[in-house]
Amino acid sequence: MKVKLKRKTTTTITQRVNFAVVGDSHVGYANSLNIFKGLLPKAVASGNKKFVIFGGDNKHGSKGTVAESDYRAFKDTVTRNLRPKKIPYKASIGNWEDNTRVLFTKYLGPVQGQMNFPGTKGKVKYVWLDNAPGKFSTASISLLKSLSPNYYYIIDFHWPLKVKGITVDPTHVLSSQETANFFKAIPANVRNNVVGIFTHHAHTFYENLNNIYPGFTKTKFYVCGCSGAYKCKCTSSGCGRGYYDATLTINNNQINLAVKTVKA
């Protein structure tokens, strides 16, 4: 009698990691704090968020005791909304924070670094960089050069890159040379592992999802800079203040990033 052997079936587990991206809250300018206080609860209310990215210019251009008060107001708002949900976060440094680096570090931590992206079981790394003065720090470029092909990456920094087809305010974009410095610092065997790049500063929403730079065929590029009162680009339907809702979908070694704009 012949016995049929059952084939082993491999179960594919698809994992989804939801996160939010908030840029340019500019606490300390006009009514930015109130806008931020209304926006952040919405950003973390749905989708079981695992992480929040704050993209720089978290506070505006204050100095001294006023700057400390603004950083504290930003941090208190974040803590009040994220701590009860146990949502981790990281903030990049922006141009308005460049002259208060000691306070930035005191309230928001290092100006560049790398960590496991929450919820991805170490498959995806989160990298935040310092280009607050309109150029990347030496430490940030060194960090890019050290990236390993064993991981996937989400990268955030304040000033947008000058990528193919970008349409944002040209005074709020890095130079071609500085853009090249960024891309060339990433090892060739890592470039297809850069899933997405989030930038800010230009006070608008913008995306480029295809071939943003030679050798980066799979990387998606975004600008998200409209979470406060400062020079928010307006349209016929009103000011486009808001944030990004984003999802990483992980299926074995396939990583996909989906991003949508949410008007606050």
Cα–Cα distance for residue pair 193/129, rounded to 1 Å: 17
* Residue 106 within a domain: yes
What pLDDT does residue 176 have?
A: 96
Complete DSSP assignment for 227-260: SSSSS--EETTEE--EEEEEEEEEETTEEEEEEE
In a domain, 10, yes or no: no
What's the predicted TM-score (pTM) here?
Answer: 0.93
CB 62 within 8 A of CB 29: no
Do residues 21 and 243 make contact, with C-beta atoms less than 8 angstroms apart?
yes
214 Cβ partners below 8 Å, 6+ apart?
Answer: none
| pLDDT reported for residue 2 | 57
Q: Tell me, what's the pLDDT at 6?
A: 58
Segments forming the whole domain that contains residue 130: 16-263
* Strand bridging mode 194-199 / 152-156: parallel
How many domains in the chain? 1
- Inform me whether the pLDDT recorded for 7 exceeds 80: no
Residues in a beta bridge with 214: none
Average pLDDT score over residue span 153-159: 98
pLDDT in tens, 33-86: 999 999 999 999 988 999 999 999 999 988 899 999 999 999 999 999 999 999
Once rounded to an integer, what is the mean pLDDT over residues 27-31? 95
For residues 82 and 98, give the distance between their C-alpha atoms in angstroms, rounded to a whole number: 25
Q: What is the mean pLDDT of residues 2-12?
A: 58
Give the per-residue pLDDT at 264. Answer: 79
pLDDT of residue 14: 87
- Whether 9 maps to a domain, the answer reads no
CATH number at residue 69: 3.60.21.10
Q: Is 2 among the domain residues?
A: no
**What's residue 233's pLDDT?**
77
pLDDT tens digits for range 189-246: 999 999 999 999 999 999 999 999 999 999 999 999 999 998 887 665 556 799 999 9
Q: How far is CA 187 from CA 116, 136, 140, 145, 244, in A?
A: 19, 17, 14, 6, 28
pLDDT of residue 208: 95
- Note whether residue 251 is domain-resident: yes
**What's the rounded Cα separation, in Å, for the pair 179 and 153?**
18
pLDDT at 36: 96
Which pLDDT value is given to residue 9? Answer: 54
Q: Which two tokens stand for residue 80?
A: 């009040």
Q: Is the pLDDT of residue 139 over 70?
A: yes
Rounded mean pLDDT, 175-186 = 98
Let me know if 205 is exposed, middle or buried by CB neighbors in 10 A (0-12, 13-18, 19+). buried
Using one digit for the tens of pLDDT, what is the confidence trace for 83-130?
A: 999 999 999 999 999 999 999 999 999 999 999 999 999 999 999 999
Residue 127 forms part of a structural domain: yes
pLDDT at residue number 162: 97
From 23-27, 48-52, 115-119, 163-167, the region with the lowest mean pLDDT: 163-167
